[in-house]
Amino acid sequence: MSNHVIILPATDYEKVAVGGKIMFLRTKELKLNVKVTDWIPVVFKDLDKNMLVEILDIRLVKFGELTDRVAIKCGFDDVIQLKKCLVSKEPTLDNMSLLYAYTFEVMGTSEKVGDD
């Protein structure tokens, strides 16, 4: 089991929960030190809900070769939206930049229980 945690926006929770997002991308600087079959916790910003995912595949993709198919796997409507999002987080990306694509499957979900 890896000691890494994936942090995603709260708006991604429903997409991941229903299988609408099965991939995420990371730059070399944000690369996770994980391997296929690792189980990793996913934390959603500003939500008390978490998930556990299993990494099914890891591959390198060039920013310039991203497709609508990859964008949809990442929870976007098209590659234009995906690229805009990536560039907003990493302005130095260009068509030759390499990204790590992690394909995953949700293994379980949990909600934190308070003292109420």
pLDDT in tens, the chain (116 residues): 445 888 999 999 999 999 999 999 999 888 888 999 999 999 999 998 999 999 999 999 999 999 999 999 999 999 999 999 999 999 999 999 999 999 999 999 876 544 44
Cα diameter, the chain: 52
Its CATH class, for the domain covering 6-109, is alpha beta
Residue (of 86, 16, 85, 90) closest to 47 by Cα position? 16
Paired tokens of 101: 């694509």
The Cα-based distances of 59 to 18, 72, 80, 86 in angstroms read 23, 17, 21, 17
Which residues partner with 110 through β-bridges? 50
pLDDT score recorded for residue 16: 95
CB 62 within 8 A of CB 24: no
Domain boundaries, given as residue ranges, for the chain: 6-109
pLDDT score recorded for residue 110: 79
Helix (H, G, I), strand (E, B) or coil at 81: helix
Among all chains, which residue has been given the structure tokens 């910003």?
A: 45
pLDDT score recorded for residue 1: 43
Q: Which residues of 6-26 are buried (b: 16+ CB within 10 A; e: fewer)?
A: bebeeebbebbeeeebbbbbb
